[in-house]
Amino acid sequence: MPRFAFDLEYDGRAFNGSQAQTGLRTLQTLLAQAMTELNGETVQVRPASRLDAEVCAEHLPCDALFARDWQPLELAAALTSRLPADVSVTRVAAVHDRWHAQHDALSKRYRYVLVQRGSRPVLDLHATWVRQLDHPELLHEMAPLLVGRRDLSGFACLRRDDSDGDDPVRTIHAASWTIEPRPLGTYLTFHISGDGFLYKQVRGMVGAMIHVAKGRKPLSAFTAAIDAGRSAERIGNIAPAKGLVLERVVYDPEPAWLPL
C-alpha cells in the first residue's frame, strides 16, 4: 500500500484544531473523509503537528496510506477538489511506507504576529492587537534566552492527562523578534524554531514576553521562569491563537515534494 505526504495550507479559524475529535470540525476528520472518498476504504491521516483551534499553518505536512498507486499530482488535485476554501494542498510526495509526518519531523518553525496601534485592527486576521508596549526593546533581550535544550514547560499548559508525565525537555534552535512600522501599525513578529513544542507553549512564551514588554513584570521574572522549568510562575496570559502560524516543518531528507 503506497504512502503519500501532503503539504497543506490551512486556515484554522473555523476548525476545532487539527486532531480528530468526535462531532467537531477538525482538520484530521475532514481530510480523512475526503481521502476515504477517493480511496474506497477508510484512510487515517497523520498531521505533522497538533494545532489548536484557530491556529493557522502555511505548511502543515501530513501523511496517509492509500489502497492503490496514484499519480501524486492527480491524487493531490482530486483531494483539493474535495476540500473547502480553508484548506489547500500545496505539495505532494510519494513517500516510503515507514515515513511519518510527525515522528520524522526534525524541527518546526512558528511565527506569532502582534500589531501595535491605537485603533482596533480590522483587515489583518492573523495578528493579535496590542494597544501599547512600553518596552518593546525588551523583546529582543528575551527571545534569545529561550534558545537551548531544557524543560520550559512552565510556559506551556498542562493537559491534565497522561501526557503530563511525558519528557518536557525540548531544544529551541532559534528565537527572535522583528519590529517593523507599517502604514496600519507597528508589526512585531516572533519567530521560533525547535525540535518540538508543548501544549500552548509558544503562546505562553509570547504572553510572557508581552507582559514584560508592557512593563507589568521585570525582565528578571522572565529569566527566573526559564530557570525554574515546570515549576515556573505563570507570567501574563497565554497569547490568543489568532497571531500564531506554523510556518514550516523540516525533514532530512525532505520528501520529494511536487508542487501543485
Kindly list the residues in this chain that would bind a second copy in the complex (CB under 8 A).
9-11, 56, 58, 80, 85-90, 118-123, 125-126, 183-184, 245, 259-260
In the complex, least distance from residue 88 CB atom to a second copy, rounded to whole angstroms: 4
In the complex, least distance from residue 163 CB atom to a second copy, rounded to whole angstroms: 29
Cβ pair 146, 226 in contact under 8 A? yes
Question: Which of 26, 90 has the CB closer to a second copy?
Answer: 90
Which of 48, 62, 64 lies closest to 97 in space, CA to CA? Answer: 64
In the complex, least distance from residue 118 CB atom to a second copy, rounded to whole angstroms: 4
In the complex, least distance from residue 215 CB atom to a second copy, rounded to whole angstroms: 21
Compute, in degrees rounded to 10, the torsion defined by CA atoms 104, 256, 80, 101: 0
Question: Which of 57, 209 has the CB closer to a second copy?
Answer: 57
In the complex, least distance from residue 91 CB atom to a second copy, rounded to whole angstroms: 8
Alpha-carbon distance of 52 to 69, in angstroms, equals 33
Question: Which of 9, 151 has the CB closer to a second copy?
Answer: 9
Question: Which of 115, 235 has the CB closer to a second copy?
Answer: 115
In the complex, least distance from residue 246 CB atom to a second copy, rounded to whole angstroms: 11
Question: Which of 59, 170 has the CB closer to a second copy?
Answer: 59
Is beta strand 169-182 parallel, antiparallel or unpaired with respect to 185-194?
antiparallel
Compute, in degrees rounded to 10, the torsion defined by CA atoms 57, 61, 62, 63: 170
DSSP assignment, residue 242? G
Cell of 61: 505536512
Alpha-carbon distance of 48 to 60, in angstroms, equals 6
In the complex, least distance from residue 120 CB atom to a second copy, rounded to whole angstroms: 4
Which of 43, 48, 55, 52 lies closest to 10 in space, CA to CA? Answer: 55
In the complex, least distance from residue 198 CB atom to a second copy, rounded to whole angstroms: 25
The number of helices, as runs of H, and strands, as runs of E, in the chain is 5, 11
Question: Which of 120, 160 has the CB closer to a second copy?
Answer: 120
The upper half-sphere exposure of residue 49, i.e. CA atoms within 13 Å in the direction of its Cβ, equals: 33
Which residue has cell 511536487? 258
Cβ pair 194, 107 in contact under 8 A? yes
The helix/strand/coil state of 105 is coil
User: In degrees, to the nearest 5, what angle opens at C-alpha 58 toward C-alphas 57 and 60?
Assistant: 60
Question: Which of 77, 158 has the CB closer to a second copy?
Answer: 77
Question: Which of 9, 254 has the CB closer to a second copy?
Answer: 9
